[in-house]
Chain A
Amino acid sequence: MRTDFVVREVATGLRRNVTMTVAMVLTTAISLLMVGTGLLAVKTIDATEAIYSDRLEIRVALTQDVSTADSGCTQPICAGLRSTLENSPLVAGVTYENQQEAYERFQELFAGQSVAELARPQSLPATLRVKLVDRDGSTEAGAAAVKQAMENQVGVRTVIDQRDVVAKLFDFLGGVRNVTFALALVQAVAALMLISNTVQVSAYTRRTEVGVMRLVGATRWYTQLPFLIEAVVTGVVGAVLAGVGLVVGKIAFIDSLLAGIAQNGVIPPVTLADVLTVSAYLVPIGALIAGITGYVTLRLYVKV
């Protein structure tokens, strides 16, 4: 195989269809940019879930009478509930928060707001805060067990699963991811068609060359490789542009948008390393998709 020959043919081909090549690069870039955004969303969701699975707990709120009467969880009802919980293999630990402690935390949480002034220790329930054991990356089993054991028990007002609250956030992030992937898919179909079309146009504009090549007995590889490499080059350039787009997007938008909540630890920050890793994945993805499309097109539509 003569590399200089192939390189020259590829350069000629890309130059000759320059508008088509640019269109192909841009479409590929946008489609891969969306794939990259989707991947970053997935990564953020996973990291967020990891953060919360450590922090999230089940709160067993006690009834008014038990809350007021028992500030140290020493009396039979509260102590009984507590030991039931502590004896469960799915529970990692139980702490008791009495009305006074609940009040202090409330004040801290809503400092400066009018609800803080209105609240009284007696109006807040005492709670048993249950930390769950993580089994296979999930606290699902523990949560179900605790709920089943505590609900409708004497002295229990409600059982609050914090994960239910956070689930809404995850639903939102998941929605973002799904929409991004759906758009990426549509865009990818357009990119594939463009690549296929460009390969056909490219082969057509060079039909004399290809004709001569076939007649003098050039192998399939010699006749097809320049077209394939052309497709792969545009795929790679598109992927690199998509990577640049992701970095720019992170610096220009994501950083300022998520700065507040990321600093507070509500969601993990999107790091430059994350973006670069995803960008690095996009390059072989772009090359592979373009290459396969090119190959299939040549097989199906182009006599070379």
Chain B
Amino acid sequence: MIRLERVTKMYKTSTRPALDRVSVEVGKGEFVFLIGPSGSGKSTFLRLLLREDVPTRGKIWVTDLDVAKLPRRKVPRLRQRIGVVFQDFRLLTNKTVGENVAFALEVIGKSPSTIRKVVPEVLELVGLEGKADRMPHELSGGEQQRVAIARAFVNRPLVLLADEPTGNLDPDTSQDIMLLLERINRTGTTVVMATHDHSIVDSMRRRVVELDMGRVVRDEAHAVYGVGR
């Protein structure tokens, strides 16, 4: 589903590569934690998958798309296969919960009838049934992140990328969000989640890819956060 082959990313402003010869393969339906300290390259990893940036060297595949060589006009095709969730939710504050989710479908040209059918379904999946008409500021942090997840998942992407999705949430709420991501993963969606949260990684016991100074220092199945440290 996702394959990186000796991917190096240099930024002009830094002498050290943000990613250094990273090779990782993630299969369909896998759940992978991407861990490591700040500046270890987690965000760069996700940005490259989304083609927010191109690698300096190396190859990246997402599904059958050669991401680095993808022409600009085909980038939307890649992004429609990937859902993204961020620490800061990035909801549109002037739109209701339902409109926020519908927005993701409107802008890729889905018909109103499809949108009317699909939005309530996905809101129910994330546990926000009956809250479609609320404004984001009326919701708790956890609920806002659910809206963001609903928006990322509403087009049924093959891959869900989550960048510190629990970073702004308390432990209990974080657990709820993880249960939700797990549920989405069970539908066959590949999930890659960058996180600092030890307890979540430890309790989930999923595959862990650890980055440090842009290098993969550990890639282990059913792992915990801090092995050997």
Chain A residues at the B interface, C-beta cutoff of 8 Å: 1-2, 4-5, 208-209, 211-220, 222-223
> Are B73 and A220 in contact, CB atoms less than 8 angstroms apart?
yes
Question: If the complex has contacts A215-B79, A220-B73, are A5 and B107 also in contact, measured as CB distance less than 8 A?
Answer: yes
Contacts of A220 in B (CB 8 A): 72-73, 76
Contacts of B35 in A (CB 8 A): none
Shortest Cβ gap from A112 to chain B (Å): 77
Query: How far apart are the CA atoms of A216 and B83 in the complex, in Å?
Result: 7
Query: Can you report 21 residue pairs joining A to B where beta carbons are below 8 Å apart?
Result: A4-B112, A208-B90, A208-B93, A209-B103, A212-B92, A212-B151, A213-B107, A215-B79, A216-B79, A216-B80, A216-B155, A217-B75, A217-B76, A217-B77, A217-B78, A217-B80, A217-B108, A218-B76, A220-B72, A222-B107, A222-B108
Question: If the complex has contacts A211-B90, A212-B90, A212-B92, are A2 and B106 also in contact, measured as CB distance less than 8 A?
Answer: yes
Query: How far apart are the CA atoms of A220 and B75 in the complex, in Å?
Result: 10
A218 to chain B: closest residue by CB? B107
Q: 20 additional contacts, CB 8 Å, given A212-B90, A217-B76? A: A2-B109, A4-B112, A5-B106, A208-B90, A209-B92, A212-B107, A213-B107, A215-B84, A216-B79, A216-B80, A216-B104, A216-B107, A216-B151, A216-B152, A217-B79, A217-B80, A217-B82, A218-B107, A219-B73, A222-B107
Contacts of A223 in B (CB 8 A): 107
Shortest Cβ gap from A121 to chain B (Å): 87
Query: How far apart are the CA atoms of A209 and B103 in the complex, in Å?
Result: 9
A223 to chain B: closest residue by CB? B107
Contacts of B80 in A (CB 8 A): 216-217
Q: Report the number of A-B residue pairs with Cβ-Cβ less than 8 Å.
A: 55
Query: How far apart are the CA atoms of A47 and B75 in the complex, in Å?
Result: 57
Q: Mark B56-90, 1 if CB is under 8 A from A, else 0.
A: 00000000000000001101111111111000001
Query: How far apart are the CA atoms of A102 and B169 in the complex, in Å?
Result: 105
Query: How far apart are the CA atoms of A218 and B73 in the complex, in Å?
Result: 10
Contacts of A208 in B (CB 8 A): 90, 92-93
Shortest Cβ gap from A180 to chain B (Å): 43
Q: Mark B193-212, 1 if CB is under 8 A from A, else 0.
A: 00000000000000000000
Contacts of B78 in A (CB 8 A): 217
Query: How far apart are the CA atoms of A5 and B104 in the complex, in Å?
Result: 12
B4 within 8 A of partner (CB): no
Query: How far apart are the CA atoms of A1 and B108 in the complex, in Å?
Result: 8
Shortest Cβ gap from B104 to chain A (Å): 4
B184 within 8 A of partner (CB): no
Contacts of A222 in B (CB 8 A): 107-109
Contacts of A218 in B (CB 8 A): 76, 107-108
Shortest Cβ gap from A216 to chain B (Å): 4
B159 within 8 A of partner (CB): no
Shortest Cβ gap from B195 to chain A (Å): 19
Query: How far apart are the CA atoms of A223 and B72 in the complex, in Å?
Result: 14
Query: How far apart are the CA atoms of A220 and B93 in the complex, in Å?
Result: 23
Of listed A208, A219, A222, residue having the most chain B CB within 10 A: A219
Contacts of A209 in B (CB 8 A): 92, 103
Contacts of A2 in B (CB 8 A): 106, 109
> Are B106 and A212 in contact, CB atoms less than 8 angstroms apart?
no
Question: If the complex has contacts A1-B109, A222-B109, are A214 and B79 also in contact, measured as CB distance less than 8 A?
Answer: yes
B19 within 8 A of partner (CB): no
B50 within 8 A of partner (CB): yes
Shortest Cβ gap from B106 to chain A (Å): 5
Contacts of A217 in B (CB 8 A): 75-82, 108, 155
Shortest Cβ gap from A1 to chain B (Å): 6
Question: If the complex has contacts A2-B106, A2-B109, are A215 and B50 also in contact, measured as CB distance less than 8 A?
Answer: yes
Shortest Cβ gap from B205 to chain A (Å): 30
Query: How far apart are the CA atoms of A218 and B103 in the complex, in Å?
Result: 10
> Are B108 and A216 in contact, CB atoms less than 8 angstroms apart?
yes
> Are B109 and A212 in contact, CB atoms less than 8 angstroms apart?
no
Contacts of B90 in A (CB 8 A): 208, 211-212
Shortest Cβ gap from A219 to chain B (Å): 5
Contacts of B83 in A (CB 8 A): 216
Contacts of A1 in B (CB 8 A): 109
Sorted nearest first, the 7 A-B pairs with minimum C-beta distance are A217-B79, A217-B80, A218-B107, A216-B104, A217-B76, A213-B107, A219-B76
Query: How far apart are the CA atoms of A2 and B114 in the complex, in Å?
Result: 13
A215 to chain B: closest residue by CB? B84
Contacts of B152 in A (CB 8 A): 216
